[in-house]
Amino acid sequence: MLTLIGILIIVTIVTLLMMGKANPIFAMSIIPLIGAFIAGFSPSEVATFFESGITKVTKVAVMFLFAILFFSILKELHIFDPLIKRMVTLTKGNVVIVAIVTTIIAGFVHLDGSGAATFLIIIPALLPLYRQLGMSPYLMLLLMAGSMGVMNMVPWGGPLGRASAVTGIDAAFLWQHIIPVQILGMLGMVAFAAIMGLREQRRIAKAKLMGTTPFEQDCLIKDLPEDSNTEIKPKNFIINIVLILSAITCLAFGLFSAPYVFMIALALVLLINFPNPKEQMQAISRHAPQALSMVAIIFAAGAFLGILSDSGMLKSIAVDLIYILPSTWVGGLHIFVGVLGVPMDLFTSTDAYYFALLPIVQEVTATAGVSPNSVVYAMAIGNNAGTFVSPFSPATWLAMGLAGTEMGRHLRYSFGWIWLYSFYLLAVGYLLGLY
């Protein structure tokens, strides 16, 4: 009975999230509660499950709160603008260099883990350049999606934060082992960008014979605003850059707990850039909604995981799956799921992938002696590449509007390449001994 109820809870939550019929907070707090009562647990037992789950995710929620505020305020101060301007200047009208620069800029700006903010910063800056050179906006989105996908595996980004909430493993610890994958992944994206740049050169030459360009053929926006010569100078640029590098260094070497690192970093960035206490509170208020929405989702996930885990539902599902699956599959189930990570992004949301699927895979593979770390690495590395080709990512829809593109064509243009790129990332992780 526990297996059946547990599966029904998970399927219901995944279905509601996929169909957009409920927000994650409602789905992950109310559905497990109903399931627990049907299973015969008393209110006091459910309250105990809830408290256990909340305790497991508190550290992750605190890190998210301070990290999102920290990076959001830095973007408001235009700290990343000079890098983008300089990189655009260095392209000198070379299509291959523009493709490479697009990849590098997207990876750097996406250090905050916010896809929407990255698209808002980069697409308006690069779209006029793509129009000038005749390059397709779909190429820009493909290159951005690839580099943003690999850089999304930072501890303050959504995937590792969710994985940490599920497994109880510190997100900063998980990230320390993924850093080599990110470095090699970005190098792979740069090489891929060069190849796609050469391919785009041939497309431009072919389109020129017909009196058009790939940009004109693909972009729905016909009248782009002219480039503005006005440039907003960032405040306290050098000090803020040093602060960013210091925070990342502390995380990479595990000098302090991740929530404490971002708590200190936020305090310093407010002190440096907003000397007046009233201005500091106003800055926090401007970015609090985004931070609090993610924290609320993490706490709701804690309630969901606490009920499924402490009630015995997850263990029951795992035990029954072991009887069904061939014994040779159990030890490699996490890798198999990782290989299918990108297609799964088309059918499920990030919340459903990490909060519903990961716990089951973890329980099943544990019987074969697979560590939770290995499960997270395989599933996160395989899935993250497809984050920004998924229609379940709100940031992707934002990108469609900014770039004047269509979701269907974006999927046809990018899906195959991104899935292939995920195989490269999985191979890198395997060679590094992560699973």
For the segment 168-179, what is each residue's pLDDT rounded down to a tens digit? 888 888 999 999
C-alpha separations of 396 from 116, 119, 421 in Å: 8, 9, 18
Global confidence as pTM: 0.70
pLDDT band at residue 224 under the 50/70/90 scheme: low
Q: Once rounded to an integer, what is the mean pLDDT over residues 232-242?
A: 83
Task: Please say if the pLDDT value at position 234 is more than 80.
Answer: no
Least confident of 113-122, 303-312, 415-424: 113-122
Percent of the chain with pLDDT over 90: 36
| Residue with the two structure tokens 């082992």 | 177
For the segment 387-396, what is each residue's pLDDT rounded down to a tens digit? 888 776 767 8
The DSSP secondary-structure symbol of 225 reads P
Confirm if 14 and 348 have CB atoms less than 8 A apart.
yes
Task: Please say if the pLDDT value at position 231 is more than 60.
Answer: no
Q: Which residue has the higher pLDDT, 310 or 142?
A: 142
Q: Once rounded to an integer, what is the mean pLDDT over residues 132-151?
A: 93
For the segment 39-91, what is each residue's pLDDT rounded down to a tens digit? 999 999 999 999 988 887 788 788 778 887 887 888 788 887 776 677 667 77
Q: What is the pLDDT of residue 255?
A: 81
Task: Please say if the pLDDT value at position 374 is more than 70.
Answer: yes
pLDDT band at residue 140 under the 50/70/90 scheme: very high
DSSP assignments along 319-366, one per residue: HHHHHHS-HHHHTTHHHHHHHTHHHHHHHS-HHHIIIIIHHHHHHHHH
Q: Where are the domains of the chain?
A: 2-431
Task: Please say if the pLDDT value at position 371 is more than 80.
Answer: yes
Q: Own/partner pairs for 19-26, CB < 8 Å, 24+ apart?
A: 24/297, 24/300, 24/301, 24/349, 24/351, 25/296, 25/297, 25/300
Percent of the chain with pLDDT over 70: 91
Q: What is the pLDDT of residue 172?
A: 86
**Among 127-141, 179-193, 381-395, 402-416, which range has the highest average pLDDT?**
179-193
